[in-house]
Amino acid sequence: MTTTAAGPGRIEHDLIGDIAVPAEALYGAHARRALLNFPSTGRPWPPRLARAFALVKKAALAVNLELGFVPKEDADAIGLACDELAEGALDRHLVVDPLSGGAGTSLNMNVNEVLANRANQILGQPLGLYRPIHPNDTVNRGQSTNDVFPTAVRVAALWALNELEMRLAALQAAFQEKERQFADVTMVGRTELQDAVPMTAGQLVASWAEAVARDRWRVFKCAERLKVVNLGGTAIGTGIGAPRRFIFRAVEALRQLTGLPLARAENLVEATSNQDALVEADGILEAAAANLLKIANDLRLLSMSPIGELTLPPMQAGSSIMPGKVNPVIPEYVAQLALETMAGHQALVAAVSQGNLQLSQYFPLAAWHLLDNLRLLDNAARALVERLLPDLAVDAARCREHLSRSLSVAAVFVPKIGYEKAQEAVALAGREGLTLSEALARFGVSEAEIAEALSPARLRRLGE
């Protein structure tokens, strides 16, 4: 052990020269330099990505063992280290910021060093010696950052997509339950923030349910794009440094470990060079964000005090100075997550589109936003399902009151009395202070006809 100004540590050597590494750290020289070069953005590794990296390394290990490139004893130790990494036991040693330079090389080397040191530790060897297990020659054998990192990101994204699909299914079901509860409440439909024509509150909520259903289907389908991985392509997709047998076995081994329907890209050079599949998948997430933002704003508008047709559950005090004020905090939270997702998508598109030649050098930024957007949308959908929808209520009396005062009902009777007379009825009501029902009566529309036209059954029936 060597003592440095920073305290007890060990000295490791790499391409640049000697560097001090904390004595008990499982990471090594490369990760240590990354810590110095890339100040933290405060964005921790997504746990799914660490687990995905562990399984990619374990799959490569299985093939290398099968091909006789790694002794059984060493492979067993590395396998145990991979399991610990997958379970989160080594998270504190994953120190490289997700937005490091080098297209993710420091992330991959952080993993390689941690697994090598932990495996050597299991075998009774000191940290930093890297014998018999070396970060590059053993843990990274047959691999490159440029195929390992994109593959790990896709594995993590596929797991997250599966969870998001289930979350959206729960949100769809919750809206459909509210649709049933609100089915017989009539209300004013509105366009451009003005009264339009009558509808039911159930139809309002059904429109949200249907939008979420489309998002659920899109999320399910976009997994098809991410299941194609470039593992085995190594540096630029030509497979340099990897035996042919390794290239054809690695993805199969990973598929067995993850249970995911992964497939090796037919053109590994293309798959290493282009990352448009991330843009496509994240575009699906942006569409979901757009729907969630629209729903959140609808909830806010219909619950605001001048309208008050929907009642949101009170979640917390809304003001430090105004007693009794309660804000629509869940829709506001959902809206902000949606906006953040949209902003992240723009950064992802920029990162992918600025890749050069055989590599997307800003892949870490794209990967970060894809995985983070999946997390944001999962949180948004969960907030609606768990914190808002169980106690969302409709104020039927307020809906009736607004409908009785609205001039929008006149449109219902255009087929009976014509557009011009309906327009005259609206003008008459405004001029003489009549209700629209009273004005329509002067044009031969009875109370019974108005009641029938505004009945939930009539409003749910498509067309005349």
421 touches 450 (CB < 8 A): no
Catalytic residue among 40, 319, 353, 446: 319
- 224 vs 263: CA distance, rounded Å: 10
Q: How many CB atoms lie within 10 A of CB 25?
A: 21
48 touches 164 (CB < 8 A): no
- 294 vs 334: CA distance, rounded Å: 10
- 348 vs 346: CA distance, rounded Å: 5
- 145 vs 424: CA distance, rounded Å: 73
**What residues contact 183, with CB distance under 8 A and at least 6 apart?**
200, 201, 202, 456, 460
Task: Verify whether residue 319 is a known catalytic residue.
Answer: yes
Strands (E), 112-246: 186-191, 194-200, 228-229
**What residues contact 414, with CB distance under 8 A and at least 6 apart?**
422
Place of tokens 């992802």: 348
Read off the amino acid at residue 229: V
- 458 vs 464: CA distance, rounded Å: 9
**Which of 53, 108, 123, 46 is closest to 84 using CA atoms?**
53
Task: State CA 67 to chain mean position distance.
Answer: 38
112 touches 133 (CB < 8 A): no
Length of the chain: 464
104 touches 366 (CB < 8 A): no
Q: What angle do CA 76, 77, 81 make, to 5 degrees?
A: 115
Which phi and psi angles does 26 have, rounded to 5°?
Answer: -85, -15
Q: What angle do CA 348, 350, 356 make, to 5 degrees?
A: 110
Catalytic residues: 319
